[in-house]
Every structure is written in C-alpha cells, then in structure tokens.
Amino acid sequence: MRMYDLIKKKRDGNILTEEEIEFFLKGYVNGEIPDYQAAALLMAIYFKGMTPQETADFTMHMANSGEISDLTSIPGVKVDKHSTGGVGDKTTLIISPIVASTGAKVAKMSGRGLGHTGGTIDKLESIPGLKTNIEREKFLEIVKNIGVSVIGQSGDLDPADKKLYALRDVTATIDSIPLIASSIMSKKIAAGADCILLDVKIGSGAFMKTRPDAINLAKTMVSIGEHVGKKTLALVTNMDVPLGRAVGNSLEVIEACETLRGRGPKDLEALCIELSANMMYLAKLGSISKCRAMAKKAIEDGSALKKLKDMVAAQGGDASILEDYSGFKQAKFKYEVKAEKNGYIKSINTESCGRVAMILGAGRETKDSNIDFSAGIFLNKKVEEQINCGEVLATLYSDDIKKCKSAEKILLNAIKVSDTPTNHTQLIYARVSTEGVEKY
Ligand code: URA
C-alpha cells in the first residue's frame, strides 16, 4: 500500500477501506508517514468528507492507537460527558456529582484550557491540595467508593489524535465535521465508559457557528457511538454568551458550588439539570422526566454537593473550601467595569470574554503558560438584563491592575447594550439520538 495512492483516492472523492485507514493511522503514529503526506490526506478529507463507515473506522483506529481505559472493575453503568468547548462551561463540576449521587458512575478524564476556552482540570486544581494526576488504581477505587472522580487525560490515551490535532491546527483542517467527530469520539471510546452524552455548542464562542452544522456534528458523533456499541446522545446548546456569570478557575468552582446549593445562575442550572437528566437516562435510571426530577432533588437535598465534597477530599483537596470560599487564593484587584449608557444587554461576545479572562491570567496563551487560579471575570449583568449608566457591568479579578485596564476596553466592546428590551435567548436547541432530532 502507498500513501500516495490513498491521498489520490480521497482527492478524487472515493471511499477509503478500513485497511487503508489503518495503514495511514498506524504509519503516521509510528513516524513512517511524514507530516506533508498526512496533511495532504487531511485536506482531501476536509474537501471530500468521509462516509459514516469511513468515519467510524477512522475513529476506532484512532482510539486503538493507544491505551483503552478498562472500567469493568467498577460495578454499575459508567457514563461520560463531553462538551465541544466554550467559555464559563463549568458543567462537569456540577453534573458529575449530581449523576453520581443518583447511582450512576462517572469516571471522567478531562482536559486543561487553551486559548479562550477553559478546562475542567485547571478549575479543579484551583482547590488547594486537589490532585488530578492520581494513580489509575486509586482513580478506580474512588469511583467504586464514591461514584465519581475527575482526573487529567492519561498521556497514553489516543496518541493518533494528539499528533493529528496538532497537524490540523496548523493546516486549516480543524473545522471538518468527520475529523472533529472522530477526534472527540476516539478519546471518549478510549476513556472506556458504557454511554456518552455530548454537549455540542453553537455560537460566538464555539467551533460550530450554525445550527445545521452543529446538528450534523451531533448526528455524526451519535452514529459513531452507537456503531461501536456505546449508547450515545447529544444536546445542541447555546454558546453565544458565556455560561453562568463566572469565567475563571476558582470563580467557576465557587459558581458550581452555588449552583449545587440551588443559588446558581438560572441558565447554568437549567442546562445542568438537562445534561444530568440525559446522563441518568443513558444509565437507565428512568424516563427523562423522572431523571429531571431526580437531578433537581439531588440539588435540593444537598446530596450532589456532598458528593462533590467527598470527591474533592478523596483526591486530596481541602473540601472545607467548598463551605468557606475565603480559602481560595484571592486576586489582589477586584476592578469594576461600569456601563456607559442606560439600556438592556443585547449580546456578550463569548470569544472576547474568553480572551479577557486569558489576559487577566486565567487562561493559557500556549500549552506551557502559567495560570492564575484567582483571575477571571464575574458578569454582574447578562443578556436581557437592564442596566443604568454607571452601574457595574462586570468585575475583573487579577493581580495586575494594568491587565484590568486593558481587559476593560475589550470587555466594553464585547458587551452590546440596546435601548429596547431584547428577545429571549434559547439555551437548548435540540436533542439528537438514534431516533432522530428533537427540536426544543
Ligand atoms: N475538540 C476535539 O477534541 N477535537 C476536535 O477536532 C475539535 C474539538
């Protein structure tokens, strides 16, 4: 088999066989196929696409390029969730303990933030003492005993994706639906859960900018999951505005705790209830409406918050901080950004908020940048809310006043205020399953 023939075959719009896909992925991971030929094939895939069978084969050979996590020693149904990324998305910290408190098991591997998007591992590490690089045996033990553990992704998981993603990033081949779907699903399959819930984001802070593209990506991922025997569902949700009010690591942990106390922002709480209910449904805990009621009860009776505290303690963290937030590192400056006119918040550009949080110190510009756990933004006003000139729009947290001043300008540009009340923004657009697309 020759790589040249595979590139030509895909360039001409033909279908690759499973053997050809395996030849490419094995050869690329072990260094026999050079970057320039891999890049040419990726570009051919970008333009010609892949059939569902090709996408499933591509996914499985990516997943099998490294370690497949074995969760069979954990009794019960193991359920995983993946969000395609966004700003202020702290849902994992809320839904994992909700779902675990109702009996399903959550053995989750998460990532770090890069660029304008945050990562769950950074958020968790803002809790003093908490470890996310724990031994595999201990991780399995915690999930068995408590029902939930969230750790960093193992270095041996899906090496094909690590290499291909880096190449896609520099060859303008990221935004191809079959390549995104196989990248995400190969990692989820390698992570070993029995069922997978996907949160596919649309909007100014997301990869997918339109509903048809997001629904298409959701359908592709659901079909891959089902093809390899994992029950898979997707919700297509709004990332046109940051989720909740907090953006930044410890600020988001605090907001997650407040949500588990029933005092969180309404959009965040509503999305978390829906995501949790769908995870429980996948774990066969009942109908969607029964699972929704169970999720609400886990917040009301405090059992989900208790689960989070138990997980934090089991991973070496100081769980008392979830009661008394003053134990988190505090930013030197809390800088108020004031409204320049009266009106209603019309829009908040999500990507700009992510950039502002990064400037303040909350995010990484490159993989090796240091982050400040206390840095970030609190949006005192959100879309649809009324504001008067001089009132506080947002509070910036940073150790550097100069950073606050440059962030203020970007944030003021990112928040549009209109004279008239704005239309209600939809939070969840659709639910995609093997049965079809259910519009909300
Ligand atoms: N997230 C991933 O993990 N992979 C992609 O290709 C895009 C988003």
The CATH number assigned to the domain holding 19 equals: 1.20.970.10
Residues framing ligand 1 (Cβ under 6 A): 84, 165, 174, 179-180, 183-184, 207
Going from the Cα of 142 to the center of ligand 1, the distance in angstroms, rounded, reads 28
- Rounded to the nearest integer, the mean pLDDT of the chain is 94
- Max distance between CA atoms of the chain, in angstroms, equals 69
pLDDT at 350 over 80: yes
**Is 158 part of any domain?**
no
Distance CA 235, CA 218 (A): 8
Testing ligand 1's pocket by substitution, the residue of 50, 171, 180, 209 carrying the most ligand atoms inside 8 A of its CB is 180
Distance CA 159, CA 373 (A): 29
Statement to judge: residues 207 and 249 lie in one domain: yes
Distance CA 399, CA 333 (A): 6
Residues marked active site are found at 82, 161, 168, 183, 187
Identify the sign of the CA torsion 309, 315, 316, 321: negative
Q: Is 425 exposed, middle or buried (0-12, 13-18, 19+ CB in 10 A)?
A: middle
- Residue ID of nearest Cα to ligand 1 atom 5: 180
Statement to judge: residues 211 and 348 lie in one domain: no
Beta pairing class for 246-247 and 386-387? unpaired
**Is 99 part of any domain?**
yes
- Residue ID of nearest Cα to ligand 1 atom 3: 184
**Is 22 part of any domain?**
yes
Distance CA 285, CA 278 (A): 10
pLDDT at 205 over 80: no
At CA 382, angle to CA 348 and CA 250, rounded to 5? Answer: 90
Statement to judge: residues 392 and 317 lie in one domain: no
pLDDT at 14 over 80: yes
Tokens representing 335 are 């800088």
Q: Is 414 helix (H, G, I), strand (E, B) or coil?
A: helix
Statement to judge: residues 414 and 355 lie in one domain: yes
- Give the residue numbers spanning the domain of 135: 79-153+189-323+428-439
Statement to judge: residues 114 and 250 lie in one domain: yes
Statement to judge: residues 315 and 223 lie in one domain: yes
Region class of 284: left (phi > 0), else alpha (psi between -120 and 50), else beta: left
Confidence of residue 355 (pLDDT cuts 50, 70, 90): very high
**Is 178 part of any domain?**
no
Going from the Cα of 182 to the center of ligand 1, the distance in angstroms, rounded, reads 8
Tokens representing 222 are 């659901």
> In which element (H, E) is residue 379 found?
strand 376-379
Distance CA 338, CA 227 (A): 52
Statement to judge: residues 42 and 138 lie in one domain: no
Identify the sign of the CA torsion 38, 43, 44, 49: positive
DSSP, res 73: T
pLDDT for 370 = 84
- Residue ID of nearest Cα to ligand 1 atom 6: 180
CATH classification at residue 372: 3.90.1170.30
**Is 173 part of any domain?**
no
At CA 138, angle to CA 133 and CA 143, rounded to 5? Answer: 100
pTM above 0.85, yes or no: yes
Statement to judge: residues 23 and 129 lie in one domain: no
Q: What mean pLDDT do residues 234-248 have?
A: 94
Confidence of residue 112 (pLDDT cuts 50, 70, 90): confident
Between 111 and 381, the more confident residue is 381
**Is 149 part of any domain?**
yes
CATH classification at residue 117: 3.40.1030.10
Statement to judge: residues 272 and 338 lie in one domain: no
Statement to judge: residues 302 and 354 lie in one domain: no
Number of domains within the chain: 3
Statement to judge: residues 343 and 304 lie in one domain: no
Statement to judge: residues 310 and 337 lie in one domain: no
**Is 89 part of any domain?**
yes
